[in-house]
Amino acid sequence: MIYNFLFLVATIPVALAHDNGLGLTPQMGWNSWNKYGCNISANDIISAATSIKEKGLLDLGYEYIVMDDCWALKTRDPVTKQIVPDPSKFPNGIKNLSDSIHDMGFKWGMYSSAGKYTCAGYPGSLDYEEIDATTFASWGVDYLKYDNCYNQGRSGTPSESFKRYEVMSKALNSTGRPIFYSLCQWGEDGPWNWASTIANSWRISGDIYDNFNRYDDRCPCESFQCIGLQGFDCSVMNIIRKALPLSQKARDRDGWNDLDSLEVGNGGMTYDEYVTHFTVWAILKSPLMLGNDVSAMSDQDLSIVSNRDLITINQDRGTQPAYSKWTKNYGDSIIILLSGELSNGDWVVALVNGASQQLTYNISMTDVFIDNRIYAEKRWVARDLWTNETSSVNNFIISNVKPHGTQVWRFSKSS
């Protein structure tokens, strides 16, 4: 019996996380969609990468340059069945662009859809996965954003979605080239429950919109539990509400909840709103993909996406996202207390003020450390990660948060 048992243990396939060696921390980079939509070309991509490098953002970790939808002709090559890059946008082809991006020190990412067409109506990769994966690998692609449009009804249950996305995962693996696999399934069929064995990250909502809290019928879901239409034009607060319960579903060697690309720099939000957007994305360990024209970015917006302390927390190896400890109604919206442990024993603590009134709040350490009571009575030094002011913490901390703003601290043990 004992031998049988050992034999079984050794041969039962264990459900391992997606094993392409990538995604040990959330991906960072730039994606063309939020700012440029379909209006892309090789020149635009090169100049975006040039600005990102010049502004020091590559050095901060923004390493993937990802070109989104609309790079192809509307029909595949009739002989090879490959997708054909639009020669008017890419006169020297995609390999040439990929080489240029690599020469600048970046990694190169592209886009397709697990559907008959991409969202903008270009050829999708459904049922062409092997051909397309091989093509991408031959172009030196390091990252694939994989959308969900025109999926031909092969969705609606987790197993249907899993099967459809697994085909591309295997095709990418077969190329022998490690390619970061970024699912863009908008949270349909709950990818946080099944995508970790086939992908490195998964979107949890419809597309982001450059607005803090505007309700929009095109983004009808208010919770991650919503079944059905995920929509688009989702505000920052809409996406935050969906993300809060999902912290438990993201970790290294597993994969990341993708709250969508950043809108910082696109002009639709105030400084304090972009601070909330960036802080929450960073501490929930969402991918940090810039989505703006970096060359035209104000110094103030640049300072937001350059916050080293928050990037360090986002990229801290071996830690999970911060958790929401409570959400309370306040004014015309909600306030949220988040906290999470970091790899060196420090903690990140944040108070998000979704409301349009100023907030003063006495935060109790029994709430911050609700699952780790032993820490609640310790003395901490709290450093504010936006002002760099420090204060000592003994059972409570008073927070002052601007309308739509967020205060975030790194707590270190007091010596």
Ligand X SMILES: *[C@@H]1O[C@H](CO)[C@@H](O)[C@H](O)[C@H]1NC(C)=O
Q: Are strands 359-364 and 64-66 parallel, antiparallel or unpaired?
A: unpaired
Query: Which of 138, 173, 312, 412 is close enough to bind ligand X by CB under 6 A?
Result: 173
Residue 396 as a binder of ligand X (CB under 6 A): the answer is: yes
Q: Return the structure tokens found at 39.
A: 């209006």
Query: Which of 34, 100, 211, 261 is close enough to bind ligand X by CB under 6 A?
Result: 100
Adjacent-strand bridge partners of 347: 341, 411
In terms of CB distance, is 159 or 174 closer to ligand X? 174
Q: How far is the CB of 365 from ligand X (least distance, A)?
A: 8
Q: How far is the CB of 92 from ligand X (least distance, A)?
A: 4
Residue 20 as a binder of ligand X (CB under 6 A): the answer is: yes
Segment contacting ligand X by CB under 6 A, of 19-27, 140-148, 208-216, 353-361: 19-27
Render the burial of 67-81: b for 16+ CB within 10 Å, e for the rest.
Answer: bbbbbbeeebeeeee
Q: How far is the CB of 226 from ligand X (least distance, A)?
A: 33
In terms of CB distance, is 178 or 245 closer to ligand X? 178
Backbone angles phi, psi at 51, to 5 degrees: -65, -40
Nearest to 355 by CA among 406, 279, 284, 282: 406
Nearest to 313 by CA among 323, 321, 302, 305: 321
Nearest to 187 by CA among 155, 214, 209, 217: 155
Q: Which residue of this chain has its Cβ atom nearest to ligand X in the complex?
A: 20
Query: Which of 99, 127, 254, 367 is close enough to bind ligand X by CB under 6 A?
Result: 99
Determine the Cα–Cα distance for residues 219 and 234; give it in Å rounded to an integer. Answer: 5
Query: Which of 17, 25, 44, 131 is close enough to bind ligand X by CB under 6 A?
Result: 44
Segment contacting ligand X by CB under 6 A, of 5-13, 139-147, 191-199, 383-391: 383-391
Query: Which of 383, 384, 402, 412 is close enough to bind ligand X by CB under 6 A?
Result: 383
In terms of CB distance, is 19 or 59 closer to ligand X? 19
Render the burial of 226-264: b for 16+ CB within 10 Å, e for the rest.
Answer: eeeebbbbbbbbbbbbbbbebbebbbbebbbbbbbbbbb
* Residue 105: other Cβ atoms inside 10 A: 11
Residue 134 as a binder of ligand X (CB under 6 A): the answer is: no
Q: How far is the CB of 68 from ligand X (least distance, A)?
A: 14
Residue 12 as a binder of ligand X (CB under 6 A): the answer is: no
| Number of separate helices (H) and strands (E) present in the chain | 11, 16
Q: How far is the CB of 60 from ligand X (least distance, A)?
A: 14
Query: Which of 2, 9, 14, 398 is close enough to bind ligand X by CB under 6 A?
Result: 398
* Residue 329: other Cβ atoms inside 10 A: 10
Determine the Cα–Cα distance for residues 29 and 108; give it in Å rounded to an integer. Answer: 10
In terms of CB distance, is 229 or 376 closer to ligand X? 376
Coil, helix or strand at residue 350:
strand
Q: Return the structure tokens found at 218.
A: 């095109």
Provide the edge-to-edge strand list for the sheet that holds 64-66: 256-258, 201-203, 180-183, 143-147, 107-113, 64-66, 28-31, 288-290
Q: How far is the CB of 263 from ligand X (least distance, A)?
A: 17
In terms of CB distance, is 15 or 398 closer to ligand X? 398
Catalytic residue among 147, 210, 301, 316, which? 147
Q: For residues 287-326, which are near ligand X according to CB under 6 A?
A: none
Interaction pattern, residues 178-197, with ligand X; x per rule: CB under 6 A: x-------------------
Residue 39 as a binder of ligand X (CB under 6 A): the answer is: yes
Distances (CA, A) of 223 to 176, 193, 288, 351: 38, 16, 22, 20
Catalytic residue among 207, 258, 260, 346, which? 207
Residue 388 as a binder of ligand X (CB under 6 A): the answer is: yes
- The DSSP letter of residue 124 is P
Interaction pattern, residues 351-380, with ligand X; x per rule: CB under 6 A: -----------x-x----------------
Going through 151-252 in order, the beta strands assigned E by DSSP cover: 180-183, 201-203
Residue 371 designated active-site? no
- C-alpha 242: how far from chain center: 13
Query: Which of 50, 51, 82, 96 is close enough to bind ligand X by CB under 6 A?
Result: 96
Residue 216 designated active-site? no
Residues that bind ligand X (CB under 6 A): 19-21, 39, 44, 92, 96, 99-100, 103, 173, 176-178, 362, 364, 383, 388, 390, 395-396, 398
Q: Which residues are catalytic?
A: 147, 207
